[in-house]
Amino acid sequence: MQSAHLLVTGGAGFIGANFVHYWLAQHPCDRVVVLDALTYAGNRASLAAAEGNPNFRFVHGNILDLGLVEGLLRDEKIDTIVHFAAESHVDRSIHGPDAFIETNVVGTHTMLKAAKSVWLDSVQSPLDGGGGSGRGHRFHHVSTDEVYGSLGPDDPAFTEDTPYAPNSPYSASKAASDHLVRAYHHTYGLQVTTSNCSNNYGPYQFPEKLIPLVLLNILHGKALPIYGDGKNIRDWLYVEDHCRGIDLVLQRGAVGGVYNIGGHNEWTNIDIVTLICRLVDEAIAQDPVLAQRFPQAPAAQGKAADSLITYVKDRLGHDRRYAIDARKCRTELGYAPQESFETGIRKTIVWMLANEAWWRAVMDGSYRDWLDRQYGG
């Protein structure tokens, strides 16, 4: 089988970087080109393990740059786009929705226009030597379960047929992008797939999101901010299981198909934070070197990390519950997550403790400005 040529947008972000490492390991003959604007959430250091691989190339650029994207599709003979690039943090979308419309809606539309122009309209399609038939290409769009809105405690989990009801500027922008992807398939015949995934966690996650934020705050002896009553529910998936799901959609998914990827792993926020507190306390209790490295962590001072839990003002429009019904993925693609929450969260903690240089580097001035704005100085 011929090797594939992938363009991974947002490949320096959390899930994108994990996907690049996953793909290069699983498909070593394929070429992987990353296009990333390196916004505050993108970090070249997350791709360090791929640098030097002759099948890997990093391009610093914006998905809004149509000429750049078209040029890459042609020059690199790209046959597969895996589109992660997005503004991804709900809280930031509440403070400043414009960037979300620009990147998530206009940026996705730019990617679709480029794909259509190079794969479908071009007399000299790089894929078929000139017929412009669009044979053999794929545009995979990475989306979120948040497009389906919020569930009540007894509601059934989201299926692919659940009507869209996005509630935040972030989820509305992702919903708009999903619709554009669908429309480019229906109208122009672009060969698309979309996956809507639940909350991811794991290595390289930017510490504005709940799990890395809580972990790092424990290590620094800082308050653990819980929005509202802490009873909001999310369905958590280890990031590598998400990458595996996308791989299956690319290999076996029906063109035009939508697939929900999730973990059947619903947790309230307060339960997650309490669990992380316990695991970090145990890790520090078992390893005196950790207590020396992180003297402000409660366990290093003979206290429990859950003493840092602080209930704060709720997120505006905070969705109560998300849950994914992943039956379609399981039956059509043979998908099942491999990591349990217990093993995945332990791996995440071990990774964070072993990669202090990475998280110190991402906690730059703009990150500290964000913390001040969001949680107060």
Q: What does the binding site for ligand DAU look like in residue numbers (CB under 6 A)?
A: 88-90, 144-146, 198-199, 209-210, 213, 225-227, 232, 234, 269, 315, 322
Report the alpha-carbon distance of residue 368 to residue 370 in Å, rounded: 5
Q: Which does 222 bind (CB under 5 to 8 A by kind): ligand DAU, ligand NAD, none?
A: none
**What's the closest the beta carbon of residue 10 comes to ligand NAD, in angstroms?**
3
Q: Name the residue whose CB lies closest to ligand NAD.
A: 13
* Nearer Cβ to ligand NAD (103/191): 103
From the list ligand DAU, ligand NAD, none, pick the one residue 42 interacts with, judged by a Cβ distance below 5 to 8 Å according to partner type. ligand NAD
Q: Give dist(CA 349, CA 359) in Å, integer.
A: 12
DSSP assignment string, 289-333 = HHHHH-TTSGGGGT--GGGGEEEEPPPTT---B--B--HHIIIII
Q: How far is CA 292 from the centre of its chain?
A: 33
Q: Which does 206 bind (CB under 5 to 8 A by kind): ligand DAU, ligand NAD, none?
A: ligand NAD
**Distance in Å, CB of 1 to ligand DAU, minimum:** 33
Catalytic residue (choose from 148, 170, 184, 335): 170
Compute the least distance from the CB of residue 158 to ligand NAD, in Å: 12
Binding site for ligand NAD (CB under 6 A): 9-10, 12-16, 36-39, 41-42, 62-64, 84-86, 88, 103, 107, 142, 144, 174, 197, 199-200, 206
Q: Which residues lie closer than 8 Å to 92 by C-beta, 6 or more apart?
A: 99, 100, 170, 208, 370
CA distance 107 to 76: 20
Residue 129 CB contacts under 8 Å (≥ 6 apart), including other chains: none
Alpha-carbon torsion (328, 329, 335, 339), positive or negative: negative
Alpha helices (H) along 127-238: 169-188, 210-219
DSSP letters along 334-373, please?
Answer: -------HHHHHHHHHHHHHH-HHHHHHHS-HHHHHHHHH
CA–CA dist 81, 68 (Å, integer): 14
**Nearest-angstrom CA–CA distance, 244 and 294:** 34
Residue 269 binding partner per list ligand DAU, ligand NAD, none, with a CB distance cut-off of 5 to 8 Å that depends on partner kind: ligand DAU
**From 36, 87, 145, 235, active-site residue:** 145
Catalytic, 247? Answer no
Considering the complex, state which of residue 84 and residue 335 has its C-beta at the smaller distance from ligand NAD: 84
Dihedrals phi, psi of 193, to nearest 5 degrees: -140, 155
Decide if 170 is catalytic: yes
Which residue lies nearer to ligand NAD by CB, 46 or 125? Answer: 46
In whole angstroms, the minimum distance from the beta carbon of 29 to ligand DAU comes to 31
| Cα distances (Å, whole numbers) of residue 115 to 126, 278, 334 | 11, 48, 29
Q: Which is closer to ligand NAD, CB of 110 or CB of 122? A: 110
> Minimum distance from CB of 320 to ligand DAU (Å)?
9
- With CA atoms as reference, report the closest residue to 26 among 253, 335, 245: 245
**Is 91 a residue of the active site?**
no
Find residue 227's DSSP bridge partners. 312
**Please, is 284 exposed, middle or buried when counting C-beta atoms within 10 Å of its C-beta (0-12, 13-18, 19+)?**
buried
Residue 36 partner contact from ligand NAD, ligand DAU, none using kind-dependent CB cut-offs of 5 to 8 Å = ligand NAD
Choosing from 146, 208, 241, 325, the catalytic residue is: 146
Q: Which is nearer to ligand NAD, 79 or 208 (CB)?
A: 208
Contacted entry of ligand DAU, ligand NAD, none for residue 246, CB cut-off 5 to 8 Å set by kind: none
**Closer CB to ligand NAD, 125 or 162, in the complex:** 162
Q: How far is the CB of 263 from ligand DAU (least distance, A)?
A: 11
> What positions carry a catalytic annotation?
145-146, 170
